[in-house]
Chains A and B, each alone.
Chain A
């Protein structure tokens, strides 16, 4: 199975800050990586797929990069609705696996 390791596990930030989250796969997954945002008590929401493609309707402050084993999600200017937990997920092979999550908290 492919293990996904996210870092940091939590980050404290303020509105307007630039936030970067990383995700590392235990083996090469090309660009088969997705990022999700999950607000408390809600289902996850797809932000980015294929490592860097923005899902329709997702604000342009979100961007993704990387390929192979190392990936990054960047929020260029944090908004109030972005205080949430973020997950990466590999879509290269079954079983699908998620990273452990990164909680973005208010500083």
Chain B
């Protein structure tokens, strides 16, 4: 059974940093691209970033402007999102998400339960 378990969310002041983690199990982690998708309060889904299975390719949403960094550790089956210079508009539930096939881009077939990030003074 595929499981994605996010952690690392919380409350932070504007300008602060957070590092999200996602522990994956139930599939060959290194074979699949992994994404972060966020959802602001009462808003729709916004794709944040993706990293290829091998970790050598990354892509980001236009709104992030270099503040976020996605990475993965295939030896630990873990996905990360380093978020710097956080802004109130980054407040959202952040989902870890698995690509459906071994090439990217792709649809997302599994989602974590989400971790809340709140940016407020």
Contact = CB atoms under 8 A, between A and B. Distances in A.
Q: Do A and B come from one complex?
A: yes
A11 interface: no
A43 B95 contact: yes
A93 interface: yes
Q: Interface residues of A: mostly helix, strand, loop or mixed?
A: loop
Nearest to A6: B44
Nearest to B104: A94
Interface residues of B, number: 22
Given A43-B112, A43-B113, A49-B100, A91 B45 contact: no
Interface of A: 1, 32, 34, 36, 38, 43-46, 49-50, 55, 87, 89, 91-101
Contacts of B109: 46, 49, 55
A95 B62 CA distance: 8
B111 A96 contact: no
Nearest to B44: A101
Contacts of B95: 43-44
Interface of B: 35, 44-47, 50, 59-62, 95, 100, 104-109, 111-114
Contact of A89 (B60, B107, B112): B107
B62 A49 contact: no
A96 B100 contact: no
Nearest to A55: B109
A95 B44 contact: no
Q: Which of B61, B108, B111, B112 has the most CB of A within 10 A?
A: B108
B44 A96 contact: no
Contact of B59 (A32, A45, A89, A94): A94
A94 B112 CA distance: 21
B47 A87 contact: no
A91 B114 contact: no
B38 to A, nearest CB: 11
